[in-house]
Amino acid sequence: MQTNCAIELKNIRKTFGSIVANDEINLQINKGEILCLLGENGSGKTTLMNMLSGIYQPDSGEIFKDGNPVSIRSPRDAYALGIGMIHQHYHLVDVFTAAQNIILGMEDQKLDLGAVNDKVKEICDKYGFHVDPKKKIYDMSVSQKQTIEIVKVLYRGAEILILDEPTAVLTPQETDKLFAVLRNMKKDNKAIVLITHKLAEVLAVSDKVAILRKGKYIGTVNTKDATAQSLTDMMVGRAVKLNIDRPVYDNIHDKLVIKNLTVVDNEGINRLDNVTFTAKAGEILGVAGIAGSGQRELLESITGLYPIKDGSIMFVNEDGSTNELVGKTPMQIRQAGVGMGFVPEDRLGMGLVGSMGMTSNMMLRSWRNGKSIFFNKKSPESLANKVWQDLEVVTPSTEFPVRRMSGGNIQKVLVGREIASSPPVLLTAYAVRGLDINTSYAIYNLLTEQKMRGSAVMYVGEELDVLLELCDRILVLCGGKVSGIVDARKTTKEEIGLLMTTVGGHEGGEK
Ligand SMILES: Nc1ncnc2c1ncn2[C@@H]1O[C@H](COP(=O)(O)OP(=O)(O)OP(=O)(O)O)[C@@H](O)[C@H]1O
Ligand SMILES: [Mg+2]
């Protein structure tokens, strides 16, 4: 065994009833290295790491720390061995400060806070974090909360850090900051395991990549010898086509005409400022912008979830007549034909019932549509079967409780349901967050399928490469204003990047 091996897993097996989540897995995690753990949704990544953090115990197999066999029966055992995991759902107490959360549950909790603050500051300086120990959790952004979770495990002396999809909730800028911190930890000889579905991140930050497929260990490769294509092929087990077809619909026409839309938040700040554009049937309209530029408010105002101060949102019916949506309730808007495939941070929060299976969850949506405006005439069961097939949902049946599926598979049910309901206007935000690369491409194809049946699709996304390949036009938001609307076939990343940071010549309207 190499001397820099921190943790070794041998023949680890973990089952849940008849589901084999991990099947005889062997894995080596080294000090001074960043190891990415890669695999499709439901391939067993989270389960495997939960056995290192003491949440689950393996059915069989062995774990070695520095060459010695260990047994990890609880998170406390894991901490004692220097293993710390940052989960997808944070375990922070909202009303406590950063410092209080960092020492929460530790035996020496009575430590004076001055000393705690000093130690937190020392950790932050060492690795390049910024934390205000006195700040309350409820005043923090998602990224700040994540930082607290990381500092918490470092405070407990973690030498081995496991991060489960930390970048799924971060902006590109926050991701860069996190990676700078991880690189500093690596220099400090820590062992780091990073789970992410974004191959660009894997290639940029890791030293090695370990691949799981359907619960089995496929192998570990050196990142410098890998490409997005080679990793995808290993992960999926066959050659996968990584490009997006962009057919042209032959009857593009106006569907949603938005004029001078202005919305104000409860602090009186303009979140959307005089926004004017048209979403067209038979097109995918991309929405680009730095996080927090008004993307969320735009989709929420179209669906009636955000109060509108000024402006008009016209829905154009098939016969050419129009319907003003401003002033209507979300239910009335949905009935008018606007469907929203909104993918929230809290996957179980947005209209999925965890204890029910896929079929019942489909019913929830079609039932809410009401009898007369049932967009999709299919029965909930055939909808569930379509989503199951199209997106290869990993579940033993359409009756299996959604809550017990892997994170990405829950998301597939949510997005799949929204798309499968085939509304005339389909709004999506961050639809592929947390989805493996193969499924992401399946989603792009489904959105294109909707466009080719004449739906007006809006796609809010953060990866410029995808926006450029998938969309017909791209609307760029900057500080709540439209800084440009460009032809996706002709524009460049540079042009969009510039529009994201400046409201230039074509302010506030269609070019
Ligand atoms: N508590 C549980 N009960 C039943 N099945 C479970 C449980 N936890 C996980 N599983 C199953 O184990 C398999 C692996 O799930 P896991 O969460 O480890 O996948 P993952 O690789 O992390 O996927 P994702 O990328 O979607 O997060 C899935 O089929 C999942 O449904
Ligand atoms: Mg997972």
CA distance 122 to 125: 5
User: Rounded to whole angstroms, what are the CA distances from 215 to 15, 128, 178, 274, 395?
Assistant: 10, 36, 28, 51, 13
CA distance 497 to 492: 9
Percent with pLDDT over 70 in the chain: 91
Range list of β-strands (E), 267-421: 270-281, 283-288, 310-316, 322-324, 338-342
Does residue 367 carry a pLDDT above 60?
Answer: no
Q: 438 CB under 6 A from ligand 1?
A: no
Residue 215 CA: nearest ligand 1 atom is: 14
Does residue 375 carry a pLDDT above 60?
Answer: no
**Domain boundaries 249-337+424-511, CATH class:** alpha beta
CA distance 473 to 246: 12
CA distance 153 to 131: 14
* Paired tokens of 107: 């035996």
Region for residue 473 given its phi and psi (left: phi exceeds 0; alpha: psi -120 to 50; beta: otherwise): beta
CA distance 257 to 32: 55
Per the model's pLDDT, the better-predicted residue between 143 and 490 turns out to be: 490
Write the CB contacts of 487 (distance below 8 Å, at least 6 apart in sequence). Answer: 472, 473
Q: How confident is the model at residue 78 (pLDDT cuts 50, 70, 90)?
A: very high
Question: 406 C-alpha vs ligand 2 centroid, how far in Å?
Answer: 6
pLDDT at 416: 86
pLDDT at 509: 40
Mean pLDDT (whole number) for 306-312: 94
19, 27, 196, best to mutate for ligand 1 pocket (most atoms within 8 Å of CB): 19
Ligand nearest to the CA of 436: 1
Smallest CA separation from ligand 1 atom 2, residue = 404
User: Rounded to whole angstroms, what are the CA distances from 379 to 375, 391, 414, 509?
Assistant: 11, 18, 17, 42
Does residue 56 carry a pLDDT above 80?
Answer: yes
Q: Which of 104-108, 154-158, 164-168, 220-224 has the lowest mean pLDDT?
A: 104-108
Q: 341 CB under 6 A from ligand 1?
A: no
Does residue 81 carry a pLDDT above 90?
Answer: yes
Does residue 107 carry a pLDDT above 50?
Answer: yes
pLDDT at 460: 92
What residue segments make up the domains of the chain, in order of their start?
5-236, 249-337+424-511, 350-422
Q: With the C-alpha atoms ordered 63, 68, 69, 73, is the resulting torsion angle positive or negative?
A: negative
**Considering the chain, what is the average pLDDT of its residues?**
88
Q: 46 CB under 6 A from ligand 1?
A: yes
pLDDT at 351: 66
Does residue 396 carry a pLDDT above 50?
Answer: yes
Smallest CA separation from ligand 1 atom 8, residue = 404
Mean pLDDT (whole number) for 114-122: 89
**Angle (nearest 5°) at CA 206 between 200 and 210:** 95
pLDDT at 108: 63
Residue 405 CA: nearest ligand 1 atom is: 31
Q: How confident is the model at residue 378 (pLDDT cuts 50, 70, 90)?
A: low
Question: 308 C-alpha vs ligand 2 centroid, how far in Å?
Answer: 38
Does residue 373 carry a pLDDT above 60?
Answer: no
Residue 79: its H or E element: helix 75-80
pLDDT at 457: 94
pLDDT at 29: 97
CA distance 261 to 199: 37
Q: 437 CB under 6 A from ligand 1?
A: no
Smallest CA separation from ligand 1 atom 6, residue = 404
Residue 40 CA: nearest ligand 1 atom is: 25
pLDDT at 113: 79
What are the DSSP calls for 190-232, one per residue? -EEEEE-S-HHHHHHH-SEEEEEETTEEEEEEEGGG--HHHHH
pLDDT at 150: 94
Q: 43 CB under 6 A from ligand 1?
A: yes
pLDDT digits (tens, 9 = 90+) for 9-55: 999 999 999 999 999 999 999 999 999 999 999 999 999 999 999 99
Question: 190 C-alpha vs ligand 1 centroid, how far in Å?
Answer: 27
Mean pLDDT (whole number) for 358-377: 56
Q: 440 CB under 6 A from ligand 1?
A: no
Q: 394 CB under 6 A from ligand 1?
A: yes
- Domains 5-236 and 249-337+424-511 agree in fold: yes
CA distance 205 to 207: 7
Does residue 408 carry a pLDDT above 50?
Answer: yes
Q: 223 CB under 6 A from ligand 1?
A: no
Per the model's pLDDT, the better-predicted residue between 156 and 364 turns out to be: 156
Q: How confident is the model at residue 371 (pLDDT cuts 50, 70, 90)?
A: very low
pLDDT at 369: 43
pLDDT at 329: 87
Q: What is the pTM of this model?
A: 0.85
CATH architecture classification, 5-236: 3-Layer(aba) Sandwich (3.40)
pLDDT at 300: 87
Mean pLDDT (whole number) for 375-380: 61
pLDDT digits (tens, 9 = 90+) for 169-196: 888 888 999 999 999 999 999 999 999 9
SS (H, E, C) 9-64: EEEEEEEECCEEEEEEEEEEEECCEEEEEECCCCCCHHHHHHHHCCCCCCCEEEEE
pLDDT at 212: 97
36, 56, 394, 406, best to mutate for ligand 1 pocket (most atoms within 8 Å of CB): 406
Q: Alpha-carbon dihedral of residues 494, 496, 500, 502, nearest 10 degrees? A: 70
Question: 44 C-alpha vs ligand 1 centroid, how far in Å?
Answer: 6
Question: 53 C-alpha vs ligand 2 centroid, how far in Å?
Answer: 14
pLDDT at 263: 97
Q: 404 CB under 6 A from ligand 1?
A: yes
15, 40, 46, 415, best to mutate for ligand 1 pocket (most atoms within 8 Å of CB): 46
Does residue 413 carry a pLDDT above 80?
Answer: yes
405, 412, 436, best to mutate for ligand 1 pocket (most atoms within 8 Å of CB): 405
pLDDT digits (tens, 9 = 90+) for 334-350: 777 776 655 554 455 55
Does residue 197 carry a pLDDT above 70?
Answer: yes
Write the CB contacts of 441 (distance below 8 Å, at least 6 apart in sequence). Answer: 240, 241, 242, 244
Q: How confident is the model at residue 290 (pLDDT cuts 50, 70, 90)?
A: confident
Q: 406 CB under 6 A from ligand 1?
A: yes
Residue 197 CA: nearest ligand 1 atom is: 25
CA distance 144 to 147: 5
DSSP structure class, residue 341:
E
Does residue 412 carry a pLDDT above 60?
Answer: yes
